[in-house]
Amino acid sequence: MAVILHVDDSSFSRLQIGKVLKRGGHTVLAADNGKSALELLRTTAPDLIVSDILMPEMDGFAFLEALRDGGNSIPVVMVTADIQKDTGAICCGLGAAALFNKPPDEEQLLAFITNALTKDISS
């Protein structure tokens, strides 16, 4: 169906969320932080990005800023264990299409991804 870049420093999360994405029929690319994801994006154009927030080297907020500043048009879904009230607002302000708490509900995540891939969610 789609190529999805999954950015998370936790190998466990990459494995678990990667399984969900693959069950949804997607091809999954992986990066362990925002910096390595940006490097991968120089040579690859995924259809969607799923990213954690709390990561070393470049966290999810800085990653979203870099994508925004670079004119990114790829939908970005944030998946995080961060439960602070303002986290969602910050992510959306930086261009994220949605925020899901870890572990995400598989059906809700896949439904959102399907919707994001078939509609213009940036409008």
Asked whether residue 53 is domain-assigned, the answer is no
User: What is the number of domains present in the chain?
Assistant: 1
Answer yes or no: is 8 within a domain.
yes
Lowest mean pLDDT among 21-25, 81-85, 91-95: 81-85
Give yes or no for a contact between 80 and 99, defined as CB atoms under 8 angstroms apart.
yes
Residue 103 sits in a domain of what CATH number?
Answer: 3.40.50.2300
Domain region containing 37: 1-43+69-76+96-117
The confidence score (pLDDT) of residue 122 equals 46
pLDDT of residue 84: 83
Query: Mean pLDDT across the chain, nearest whole number?
Result: 92
Residue 100 inside a domain? The answer is yes
- pLDDT, position 118: 87
pLDDT tens digits, one per residue of 67-77: 999 998 899 99
Residue 123 lies in a domain: no
Q: Where are the beta strands (DSSP E) in the chain?
A: 3-7, 27-31, 48-51, 76-80, 98-101
pLDDT of residue 120: 54
- The helix/strand/coil state of 77 is strand
- Domain-located, residue 13: yes
Contact (Cβ atoms closer than 8 angstroms) between residue 94 and residue 68: yes
**% of the chain surpassing 70 pLDDT:** 97
Both structure tokens of 106: 């598989």
Per-residue pLDDT tens digits for 13-25: 999 999 999 999 9
Is the backbone peptide bond immediately before 103 cis, with ω within 30 degrees of 0? yes
